[in-house]
Structure formats: C-alpha cells, structure tokens
Copies of this chain bind each other. A is one copy, B any other.
Amino acid sequence: MPESAGRVRPVVEGVRPVVDAGRWPAKATIGELVLVSADVFTDGHDDLACTVRYRHDEDPTWSTHPMRPLGNDRWSGQFPVDRLGCYSFSIRATVDRFGTWRRELLVKANAGQAIVVELQVGAALVADTTARASRADRAVLLELAQGLQAASEAAARGDPEPGLDLATAPALVELMARWSDPAWAANSDTYVLSVDPPKARFSAWYEMFPRSASSDPSRPGSLADVEARLPYVAGMGFDILYLPPIHPIGRTNRKGREGDPGGGSDDPGSPWAIGSATGGHTAIHPDLGTFEDFDRLVRTAARTGIDVALDLGFQCSPDHPWITEHPDWFRRLPDGSIRYAENPPKRYEDVYPFDFDTATWRELWAALYEVVEFWIGHGIGIFRVDNPHTKPMRFWEWLIPSIKADHPEVLFLSEAFTRPRVMEHLAKVGFSQSYTYFTWRNTKWELESYMTELTQSAMSDYFRPNLWPNTPDILHDTLQHGGRGAFVTRLVLAATLSSNYGIYGPAFELQEHEPRSPGSEEYLHSEKYEVRQWDLGPPDSLAPLITRVNAARRAHPALQQNRTLCFHHVDNDQLIAYTKTASGPDVVLVVVNLDPLHNQSGWVHLDLDLLGIDPGRPYRVHDLLTGARFEWCGPRNFVALDPATPAHLFRVEGSSETAS
C-alpha cells in the first residue's frame, strides 16, 4: 500500500453524469453548464472541501470549480463546456482541516468553553500552511499565525474576541483555502463527457419526401423542388429538414401502392429499397436530380438555418450493385438465393439485409463507414438511422465514435422503435438523439410517467428523446379519430415536453388522417409507395400554429432543455399541466386538453415554490399561442380548454428566480 493510501479519508461515489459506471460517455452540448454531483463523505465530523476537475481532451491542464453540499452527503458543482468533442472530469475531496477548526472554535466559544488551546492549534495550522504558500502569501500567513498565538494569550487573559475576529477574518479564510493541503485527497474515477453541437439538445425536425415536393401536379418532385420549399419549412421555424433515402430504388420485388408486395412495376417503389443498376448508397435517384442539385440544396438550406438530414438505411434492394460486387455480405440460402428481410411470418422481399455475421465483416463495416464519410463530404452533418436495432450494437459502438473522432459535430438519430433496453443501449453507444414511445403515450398517466423517466432518471445523462406525433410509418389512432384538436394537442405536447421533436409533413400540418385500413397505423396512399401532391395553402393548415409554437421554443430557453420538466397536479385527468424553467428567470407553463373532442376544465395546482413565485402576490400568465393574458394568484387557478384551442402555452411572468 502506498505511503499515503491509509490517510486518504474522504470517499467519493455515485458521481453523475456517469453512464454505467463510466462504461459509456455521458452527453452534453456546447454552451451548457454541466451539472456534476456526487456522494462525498468522510469518517467522523470533519468538514470537507470538494472540487470538480475537468479538461477538454485537447487541454494540457485541468481546470477546477468548487462544489457545494446539497445535504445528505450529496455535493453539486458545474463546469462550462464550449468545445465539441470529449471532456474528462473527476471529483476531488479533501478533509478541510481549517474549516473544521474554525467551525468547532465558534461552537466552543458559543458554548462558553475555553478556546485558548484551540487558538494555539489554529496558529499551528496556519503556520503549517506557509510551507505550501507563495512567498507573498507566506509572509501574510506567518503574521496571521502570530496573531492567533497572541490572541490565544488574550483569551487566556479572559478576552476571546481577538481570536474569534481573526479566525473568521475573510483574508485568513481565503488564504487558507488557496493553500489548502492537497495531500491525501480522494479522487473519483475520471469520467468522459461527449459534447455535441447545440442542435443535439434543441432541434425541430421536418420530414418530407422529395418526390412529393413538386408544386406542379404533372411531375414528381425533385431536390430542386425541395429547395423551393425551404422558405415554407424555415418559415414554420424548423431547423432540420430530414429526407427519406434519396438513392436509386430497386426494381426487383418492388412494392406497389399501399405496400402491395410485388405489385410495383409501374410504381416508384419504397425509397428504403435502396440500390439499382444506377447505384447504391452513394448515388442519388436520377429522378431527384444531380449532386449539383443536392449540394445547392444543402447550401441554400444552411443559409436559412436549416441542416439537411439524410437517412442511413443500411440494407439493399436485390438490384443494389453490392449484391454482385460483395456476395459475401449477404446470407445465401442452400438454393442459391439470398435471404430477404423477414420477421416470420412477415416478409420484406424488396430488401436484403446485410449479413453482419459474415467473415468479411471488416470490409462491410468499412464500406458503411465510407457511406457516412461520403455524405459528410457533401455537407451532411445529421443522419437519421433507419432501424439501427437490426444491426449489431457493436457496429454502432464502433461506427459513431469513429466518425465523430474526425467530425465531432455530426449527429445521429436512432429510429429504434423496439424494446426499452435496446433503445437505451443504442443511445449509450453513441446515438445523439432517439425516437421514443411518445407516439403511443396519450393519457396523462402515460405521458407523466414516461416523460419523467426520460428526463429525470439516469437515462437523461445519455438518452435525448426526440418526440414525433407522426411518422410515415405511424398514423396513431388518436390522429385518425381526434380531429384537428388531436393534431394541435400532440404538436404542443411534442414541442414542449421535449426540446427535440419533429413532424412528418406536409401530412401533419394538413392533418392527413385516413388509415390504409381500419385498425392500421399505415397511412392511406402512403408516400412510402407513391408520389403525392400536397396543397400547402388550405385555410385550416396547422402551419401558422406550428410557426407560433416554434417561435415560442426559440424565444424561451426553458423549452430548449428537458432537465427542469415538472408536472403539476390538475384535478381533471383529461388536463395535463407542466412547467419548464431556466435562469433569467424563464418560466413556461403548458396546459393541454388531452380529450380532443370535448371541452375540459379544472383547477391547476402549481408548485409556486419551485417556480419562484410569491404565493401572496398576483402573477401574469401570457398565452404565446393566442396572445391571451390572465392574472393568477396563488397555487390554484382555473383552466378551461376546448377542442378548437386545446392548449395553453403560457409564459409565466412574476417569478423571482427558479430552482433550476
């Protein structure tokens, strides 16, 4: 055992943010103050001093910030992150001998006990510290030590005051903290924090099919049409435009309208049946345009603040060039055919999965890596990954950090609608954002418990939820039967419960709600299998409302994070109420009617203490959707919402400061 080991008395454990004891990095975004906390304690009654030490991987030295006790041996601190990539941090605790001495001195003096010897002890403590101090401080400390010695003599003569004055003098406290003994410090393990760009934390996604982007009914859409639609998308306030796969589509076993297997010879086919004679994952469908069109779209989008996100669908149509170039990447059956995708008894005959068990997995992984690098080379920094849970976890664990080593700004959204542990693991291995079960969480109890789990549990250290009211695969029953009110409700919930959300449009804002068949979550006339024409201008479009919601998100830092999400009681299970807060103070209160077809009213019970609101004074709530203003007072206030205006998105005015 090393000489010092037996004298290290503090213990540091339970550090956050830490994922699986440090097996995976926790996540943060540029500009954040990272909240760090830990259980820190020692034997006996001694005081502790505790700091968080941190550095960016490229920093040569560590910076430190002090931590403070929250009670029950929990300590908290924070540090700023202003660069992409990985930070390391650890927590250091030392026994605070001087602080202990000072506290006990005051207790004894207050109890009328003698402090003569105590002041001598203090003098020795201060004198010991001089050995570590700078020359200038050493002189001051020596003088203070002599002062304590003299004060001890005064105390012996019956006058404790000089000693107490000196012990609590700010100059002494400050100097003793500056030159505190670093020996026998307890250090936590060092943990890694991966820092992403701000859009990892705060983003509004808009998904659209390029081939349906034409405003000319006589021809399908192209990348140029998408470019022409950028002002519409940006005008609503979205900042990520996600395009389903833009690659050539296979002909073999092409699916027809409504997903008809094999019936698609005259149809455009599913964009996820990737690859034809004209190319695979690094080609653009000839009908959509050229790389020149693509690059121009990306550039124009960037000028409006929009990032174009592409889809990574790691699978091949039977016509993909890789089928013949790399037969060993696919699983061959005894009859010589390739095994198509299936989840028996369901079959997906227009798609061949990769055989990740192949002996040539290194070549396969490298080729997929090159696909990502290729599109990064064309200005793409955000990827929505199709069905990542059907590819090995270790593949993502390798791919994402490998890409981010060279491109720390790149984001990956996990489209995994599967079991909780698998969704969590994909986030742990590196996905920046994750689809969730939000689409199927519709009652108050479901929403409160699920969002509390996502935002308040240890999951929040690595799993960033991205909430979608609809996707091309999911038209939920609520939207099918809830009318306009359901669309508004689900939009407001998605956009305010989570700082990251998205919609699949124009189906969403135009309130497309017919299913392929009763009980199905598939859209009728699904764009997955046919070209659609959309009239974006009907009077009941939700575009104006979406614009107001996104404007509120941009104006309110409270809505740009999830850490402060808190649900409040409403005495009506059809009404849900929650707040988000940020320093400023910025307090946003959302009240939503979950019943899309009927008026609902009730009393909202706010936790005013949490919101920094004086319970004895009136405060104002200002609806950012309707402009309405109300004067409220106290914790209980009445709310009534009807299907035409089923949500309040209130700015709360009158908070002094919030507990964030």
Question: Could you mark each residue 185-206 of chain A with 1 if its beta carbon is under 8 Å from any beta carbon of chain B, else 0?
Answer: 0000000000000000000000
Contact B6 A73 (CB under 8 A): no
Question: Could you mark each residue 108-147 of chain A with 1 if its beta carbon is under 8 Å from any beta carbon of chain B, else 0?
Answer: 1011010001001101100000000000000000000000
Q: Which of A246-254, A278-286, A391-399, A531-539 makes up part of the contact surface?
A: A391-399
Q: How far is the CB of A185 from chain B (nearest CB, A)?
A: 13
Q: Which of B5, B9, B107, B398 contacts A345 (CB 8 A)?
A: B107
Contact A419 B41 (CB under 8 A): yes
Interface residues on A, range: 35 or more
Q: Which of B11, B334, B362 contacts A117 (CB 8 A)?
A: B334
Residues of chain A from 306 to 347 with CB closer than 8 A to chain B in the complex: 333-335, 337, 343-345
- How far, in angstroms, from A43 to B117 measured CA to CA in the complex? 69
Residues of chain A from 347 to 388 with CB closer than 8 A to chain B in the complex: 356-357, 361-362, 365
Q: Which of A168-176, A420-428, A508-516 makes up part of the contact surface?
A: A420-428
Chain B residues near A627 (CB-CB < 8 A): none
- How far, in angstroms, from A44 to B333 measured CA to CA in the complex? 19
Contact A72 B21 (CB under 8 A): no
Q: A20-B13, A72-B420, A334-B117 are in contact. Are A43 and B5 (CB under 8 A)?
A: no
Residues of chain A from 462 to 499 with CB closer than 8 A to chain B in the complex: none
A407 at the interface (CB under 8 A from B): no
Chain B residues near A107 (CB-CB < 8 A): 344-345
Q: Which of B7, B22, B44, B394 contacts A389 (CB 8 A)?
A: B44
Contact A6 B117 (CB under 8 A): no
Q: How far is the CB of A238 from chain B (nearest CB, A)?
A: 31
A45 at the interface (CB under 8 A from B): yes
- How far, in angstroms, from A356 to B184 measured CA to CA in the complex? 12
Query: Which residues of A come within 8 Å of B, CB atoms?
Result: 1, 5-9, 11, 13-14, 20-23, 39, 41-45, 72-73, 104, 107-108, 110-111, 113, 117, 120-121, 123-124, 184, 333-335, 337, 343-345, 356-357, 361-362, 365, 389-395, 398, 419-422, 425
A-B contact pairs, 13 of them (CB 8 A): A6-B365, A7-B356, A7-B357, A9-B356, A14-B421, A42-B392, A43-B391, A43-B392, A43-B422, A44-B389, A117-B335, A123-B334, A124-B334
Other contacts beyond A7-B361, A13-B20, A107-B345: 7, CB < 8 A: A9-B356, A14-B421, A20-B21, A43-B356, A43-B391, A73-B421, A120-B333
